[in-house]
Amino acid sequence: MDIETITPAEARRRQQCGAVLIDVREIHERALGMAEGALGIARGELESAPAGSIPDRNTAVMLICEVGGRSLQAAKALLDAGYARVASVEGGTRCWQADGLPLVRPTGDHDFYDRYSRHLLLPEVGEAGQRKLQAARVAIVGAGGLGSPSAYYLAAAGVGSLVLADDDVVDRSNLQRQILHTDARIGMAKVESARIALSALNPNIAIDTLAERITSANVERLIGDADVVLDGGDNFAVRYLLNDACVKLGKPMVYGAVHRFHGQVSVFDAGRHRGEAPCYRCLFPQPPSPESAPNCSEAGVLGVLPGVIGMLQATEVIKLLLGIGEPLSGRLLHFDALGMQFRQTRLSADPACVVCAPGQAFPGYIDYEAFCSAR
């Protein structure tokens, strides 16, 4: 039997005469708007148990999706199930809207549905995932080269609460790579400059700032209620301190580092997965000497490089918050900007690690500046 296809205008006319219009798209798609008066029932749900939604097989049923393909398939399934009066809306919701027919959205925050519409289209995110991001809290240490792009994309993605920690002020030499800051804000505390930029991008998120140097005295206050910690620092002392605190508190740490034309990214999640996932100390039990690892002010850095690494860090944070994909835990991703090449190194948990070995009690915080300078 051929499936009847009808125009959106004809569907609207029949709807007003009592026919049932069913939107068979997924819930994350319907959140962006659906034909007025339509019932929202995902295709899979409708096909698996049509009688639960349409008890009478003689009911006049019209099916609509995004452009018409899924509604045709669902219509065939209903015909096969014994429904006699089934039609598919040609062109779907797109044509319905283009024809000027009434479209409705879920009640509530229209800014939410507009702002995150492209996330809502992704089944891996959808409304439920976006609500997870909205409820999440991420601590970002460093509002410089790595913290700038990371924070910018996390704010744009709708992470509901960001904590920024940096004790520095904006300098003209920062502007080549630290995209949160502007020439007009030279001399301003970086966290305040960052707050201005991020609030302008997404006024719906909360931004807490800490214009302090991270030490063992305040690190737990900074990251204690964070879901994920992002390492955007530029020195080894802070990185070891963050690592140890994250292991102690069971927080995943998204690591990033840049040097001249090269960058690295990884996820250290040993606090939640002892003996399985490595921590930063498993990779670097001892810090390198200052001579072998100069910072950006000494060795220089390609301006776009922190942008690449910071965006990769933001990607890992979002994956961790949503529980999707494969995080970089147990893998160190290397990026060579000049060769435009990525490669990765497998990392293993060190069974003798002084911080994250199974059964190892937390050894306490140390003088990290002395620990690093001793090298």
Residue ranges of domains in the chain, CATH in brackets: 4-107 (3.40.250.10), 119-373 (3.40.50.720)
Look at the block and give the residue holding tokens 């997924």.
26
| Region 208-225 average pLDDT | 95
Q: In what order do the strands lie in the sheet with 4-6?
A: 4-6, 86-89, 61-64, 20-23, 39-40
Residue 305 has pLDDT above 80, yes or no: yes
Is residue 292 over pLDDT 60? no
Give the tens place of pLDDT for each residue, 100-151: 999 998 666 778 888 998 998 888 998 899 999 999 999 999 999 999 999 9
pLDDT tens by residue, 139-198: 999 999 999 999 999 999 999 999 999 999 999 999 999 999 999 999 999 999 999 999
Quote the pLDDT of residue 298: 65
Per-residue pLDDT band for 375 (boundaries 50, 70, 90) equals low
SS (H, E, C) 60-118: CEEEECCCCHHHHHHHHHHHHCCCCCEEEECCHHHHHHHCCCCEECCCCCHHHHHHCHH
Give the pLDDT of residue 370. Answer: 84
User: Of 24-38, 205-219, 278-292, 356-370, where does the model show the most confidence?
Assistant: 205-219
Instruction: Please report which confidence band the pLDDT of residue 293 belongs to, taking 50, 70 and 90 as the band edges.
Output: low
Active-site residue (options: 65, 296, 353, 372): 296
Q: How far apart are CA 49 and CA 57, in angstroms?
A: 13
CA distance 214 to 368: 11
Token couple for 209: 């700032």
Task: For residue 296, indicate whether it is catalytic.
Answer: yes
pLDDT at 295 over 70: no
Specify the higher pLDDT residue, 66 or 1: 66
Residue 296, pLDDT score: 60
- Across the chain, mean pLDDT equals 93
Calpha distance 121→325 (Å, rounded): 17
Average pLDDT, integer, range 83-91: 96
pLDDT, one tens digit per residue, over 335-354 is: 999 999 999 999 999 999 99
> Where would I find the beta strands (DSSP E) of the chain?
4-6, 20-23, 34-35, 39-40, 61-64, 86-89, 103-104, 137-141, 161-165, 206-210, 228-231, 253-259, 262-268, 331-336, 341-346
pLDDT score of 9: 96
Q: What pLDDT is attached to residue 357?
A: 95
Question: How confident is residue 260, by pLDDT bands cut at 50, 70 and 90?
Answer: very high
In this prediction, what percent of the chain has a pLDDT beyond 90?
84
